[in-house]
Structure 1
Amino acid sequence: MSTPKIPILMDVDTGIDDSLALIYLLASEEAEILGISCTAGNVPARQVAANNLAWLELCGRSGIEVALGAEVPLLTPLRTTEETHGPQGIGYAELPEPRAELSPRHAAQLWIDLARERPGEITGLVTGPLTNLALAVKLEPELPQLLKRIVVMGGAFNYPGNTTPSSEWNVAVDPESAKVVFDAFSGLPANRQPIICPLDVTETVVMTPEHLARLAEAADSSPIERPSSTDSHGLRSQTSNPLVRHLVDAVRFYFEFHFDHKQGYISHMHDPFAAAVALDSSLAVLRPATVDVELAGTLTRGATIADWHGLWGREANALVAVQTNPEEFFEQLIERVGAFARTIPGI
């Protein structure tokens, strides 16, 4: 029997962990990726688009529409974070120049058109700033009713921020867009409310060198490599499988970034976890809350606030992930991506 498909529209700022999210979905039999909407965030939007086209080409996947979206936030100046993700956004990986072309549609129009074509079916997965979705909602106010639901990687609630003391990157760089989206998606029934995967949970999803070694083993790739904090910065993978090789080169940069910032030789898999939740929300313990975004605070601009107890007198507008089993997620990622990598010919 064929596996029932879950239609997914991705909105990304690729990004090392966005790359893993894309590959996780490509490797998941139940995921039907309808399109990829690109926004500026980790790197500029045009580099984001090039990264997505390159990953798709490496993975032998044609026919997935990649649309360029917002190149700047709604109101604030553009900030990118190449120090976290590398000059091209994919760490030390050097992907072949893609041959496929971008969609002629703007990413916001892609959201609207696909939702109109398949009303009530599509799950939107946003792993970057919410700029494209905010623009789409402004153009089509019925979009929240047309989508099945959205899953957002973003925010920090009972947890410190990673961009300011109180704000997470995806929200901090464009808080106005986050506010537009959370307001627009209010009033939906509980089974269609946005699922938010904040730092509170995603920073418990910690990839280690051992996970990469297990991935290479699952892909029948050799030699099995375990990056180490004692390695020279920028050491390149020599493993045989091309997908695993590029992933090791990408994630090594992420390991080095976390290590240099006193977090250990690890990497947080924020976006792949959100991708997994988009396919199976039971991977996370979800708690209803009324979520809003601080725009005016001198010290707290970009903070996401959750009213857990109805103190504002407003209905809950989101389900917030508050707990998960990281090793269950990594078992799935390694099994799926390993098997998928075995289908990719060596180059």
Structure 2
Amino acid sequence: MTAFLLDVDTGIDDALALAYLAALPDTEFVSVTATPGNVDAEQVARNTLALLELCGRPGVEVAIGARRPLSVPLLTTPETHGPQGLGHAVLPEPAGKVSERDAVDLWIEHARTRPGELTALLTAPLTNFALALRKEPDLPELLARVVIMGGSFYYQGNTTPTAEWNTHVDPHAAKEVYAAYRGRAAEKLPLVCSLDTTERIEMHPDHLRQLAEAAGAEVAELVLPDQPEGRRSTSDNTVVRHLSDALRFYFEFHRRYDQGYLAHVHDFFAAGVAAGTLEYTARPATVDVETESALLLGTTVADFRGLWGVPPNARIVTNNNPEQAFAELVSAVGSLAARLG
């Protein structure tokens, strides 16, 4: 059993990551916290509650912490994830309510109560995690492991020429998080899933077709590039229908920016790394984040060779296996969708 503390900015690829983790039989959602990023924090929390209920995980405590980044104005991305964060998908209003507790306090409470047991998965800007580290500097020792989706090293950024979205939204938080891991034991260092490897996880329309087949859907799920934008799924399977509507928007976005009719599902890969189900390799490095230069704001820099003379503070994922990742996704989420109907 893997017990998760998750911090998300649910978004389309966060939604796929949550659906995937919900599909695994040996995962526990201890709590899920909302950080503003793809949409504002309140919308993140609503999306997350609705998605967890859709995927058969009602009753998970979902809490909000920060409403804005540490030092810069909040940027959201409706052009990438839609005005509500889930593309063309319109999920039922959740039955559950957002917790009245503060996300940062929840992280610290759970980590102290269950030392060495919890896996932290961070698929959002690192605002809440940075605030938790300020309040509890021993958090890295209390958590079993940490997986971060963020950064771009020897790879073009997806927000500026050098910066990845999550890090660019709150570069100061990311800088604080990496600084907090200086001098930690190797096994405590965060695993970082950067664009260098997450953009290899390219979801295509055929993966949706396979997912619907695995779910036993009677209606073939054909999301095709020549169809009108915004077309809605008619699948008889509820999970497939909503995920398809979300992912169609993501396909359309990537095509609009000349990347093809596909979707980079970054957060699903990070979720699989955290769950221990996806293949990857990683290397230690010393990571820092640029917070002063207007030209390079949010740029992540990795020293793999010790040129700075500073010990590693992260393990950066350097390779993965997209074919294995999508076979796992189709099998797990297809089975979940089949069970839920």
TM range (shorter): over 0.9
Letter in 1 for 2:247: V
CA distance in 2, matches of 1:313, 1:340: 48
Offset at residue 131 of structure 1 (A): 0.3
**Residue 343 of structure 1 aligns to a residue in which SS?**
helix
Matches within 5 A, 1:31-50: 31-50=27-46
1:167 to 2:163 alignment? yes
**Residue 321 of structure 1 aligns to a residue in which SS?**
strand
**Residue 23 of structure 1 aligns to a residue in which SS?**
helix
Offset at residue 133 of structure 1 (A): 0.3
CA distance in 2, matches of 1:56, 1:280: 21
Alpha-carbon RMSD: 1.0
Offset at residue 56 of structure 1 (A): 1.6
Gaps of 5+ in 1: none
Counterpart for residue 307 of structure 2: 311
Moved segments of 4+, more than 4 Å: none
* Candidates 64, 71, 75, aligned match of 1:75: 71
**Residue 340 of structure 2 aligns to a residue in which SS?**
coil
Offset at residue 280 of structure 1 (A): 1.1
Counterpart for residue 256 of structure 1: 252
Counterpart for residue 334 of structure 1: 330
Counterpart for residue 107 of structure 2: 111
Number of residue pairs aligned between Structure 1 and Structure 2? 341
Matches within 5 A, 1:216-295: 216-280=212-276, 283-295=279-291
Amino-acid identity (%): 53
Offset at residue 109 of structure 1 (A): 0.9
CA distance in 2, matches of 1:268, 1:14: 15
Counterpart for residue 54 of structure 1: 50
Offset at residue 281 of structure 1 (A): 7.2
**Residue 342 of structure 1 aligns to a residue in which SS?**
helix
Letter in 2 for 1:149: R
CA distance in 2, matches of 1:32, 1:224: 32
Gaps of 5+ in 2: none
Matches within 5 A, 1:111-150: 111-150=107-146
CA distance in 2, matches of 1:98, 1:63: 10
Counterpart for residue 156 of structure 1: 152
2:269–2:278 Cα contact (<8 Å) kept: no
1:17-56 CA distance string (max 9 Å, x none): 0000000000012221111010100001100000011112
1:321 to 2:317 alignment? yes
1:257-281 CA distance string (max 9 Å, x none): 0011100000001000000000117
